[in-house]
Structure 1
Amino acid sequence: MNEIYVTIQGRVGSEVEFRQAGQVSIASFRLGSNPRQFVRDKGWVDRPTTWFTVECWRGLAENVKESVGKGQPVVVFGKLKTTEWQDAEGNPRSKTVLEATSIGHDLTRGVAMFTKRAPQVGVQTSSLEEEMRELSEFVDSQAEANPFPPQGSEALEADRRAA
């Protein structure tokens, strides 16, 4: 099965809805995207708005709850997922959701201030998060050991000596 990843620029069209499913945090909101088109005699005009339901999970959901509000310009990256079911009358229904893996404010529209979230004690992290933390610690330790690593031909010579 192929997965479809997209990046969408738009404005948050609803308040962020936040809920817990057991230990898992889930946030969702509506995202409106207005493409613009240049028309020779009118200049730039807005095309009809395309609406998406955005869902995000776990730490991203927590951060969205604290950071994103209705009307704010955002850029969302994630995977399109379609759910199909039958309603009470037996009619086929479907819903397409953008399952976000990254959400950020659109800095072409304003400025933002980033605050790193403190690690939560007792919260299980994914293996990717573990690997990234270990890599970050390794890179930091290497920078402390040698804050000015060799560059260019010096780096090649250092690699040859190490091999």
Structure 2
Amino acid sequence: MSTHFFGEGNIGSVPEFKEFNNRNDEPRRLLRLNIYFDNPVPVKDGFEDRGGFWAPVEIWHRDAERWSNLYRKGMRVLVEGRTVKEEWEDAEENARVTFKIEARRVGILPYRLENVTLSSKPASTDNHDAA
């Protein structure tokens, strides 16, 4: 089961990069972000979070290693992708269900940023979506 997802949240831990062998082809690269998607509701003196949730966000792309140095814990991001239901058993053999997000795009929002530095060479535009 999967469905379209679009949400805003904060990266809650250091991004995790993994690389997997793909026989003789280029290895598959995964960047996993643990994100808290909040539900801010306006109150008298600011905002209150009502009913947010944590979700693992996976980015499969050849640039995942480079991006692992870009994303930081605490950064505010906008995620577009799809939710995927994963069924598994815990150590006591109880049936469990987890939802993860397979991201197509993860945009950095300007909150908490001190500066932005652009590279002198534009990134390749041949494939911006996850591989």
TM-score band (shorter)? Answer: 0.7 to 0.9
User: Is residue 2:28 matched to residue 1:29?
Assistant: no
Q: CA deviation at 1:37?
A: 1.3
Highest Rg: 1 or 2?
A: 1
Quick check: 1:18 aligned with 2:22?
A: no
Question: What code does the residue aligned with 1:117 have?
Answer: A
Query: Against the structure 1 CA distance between its residues 53 and 105, is the aligned structure 2 distance closer, same or farther, given a 3 Å change threshold?
Result: same
User: 1:9 — aligned with what?
Assistant: 8
Q: Which has the higher strand share?
A: 2
TM-superposed deviation, 1:117: 3.4
C-alpha distance after superposition, 1:124-148 (max 9, x if no partner)? xxxx84xxxxxxxxxxxxxxxxxxx
1:52 to 49, 55, 66: 55
The whole-number CA distance in structure 1 between the counterparts of 2:123 and 2:46 is 44
Residue aligning to 1:86: 89
Give the superposition deviation at 1:24.
Answer: 0.7
**Ranges of 4+ aligned residues in structure 1 off by more than 6 Å:** none
Distance 1:12 1:64 in 2: 14
Q: Name the CA shift for 1:43/1:66 in 2 (closer, same or farther; >3 Å).
A: closer
Calculate the TM-score normalised by the size of structure 1.
0.61
How much does 1:113 deviate? 3.9
Alpha-carbon contact 1:12-1:30 (below 8 Å) kept: yes
Q: Residues 43 and 71 from structure 1, CA distance in 2 versus in 1: closer, same or farther, beyond 3 angstroms? A: closer
- The CA distance in 1 between the partners of 2:11 and 2:92, in whole Å, is 33
Higher helix share: 1
Matched, 1:117 2:123: yes
What's the offset of the Cα at 1:62? Answer: 2.7
What is the Cα-based RMSD across aligned positions, in Å?
A: 2.6
User: Which residue in the other structure is 1:106 paired with?
Assistant: 109
Tell me the matched-pair count.
119
How far, CA to CA, are the matches of 1:112 and 1:18 in structure 2? 23
CA 1:43–1:4 in 2, change beyond 3 Å: closer, same or farther? Answer: same
Identity over aligned residues, as a percent? 27
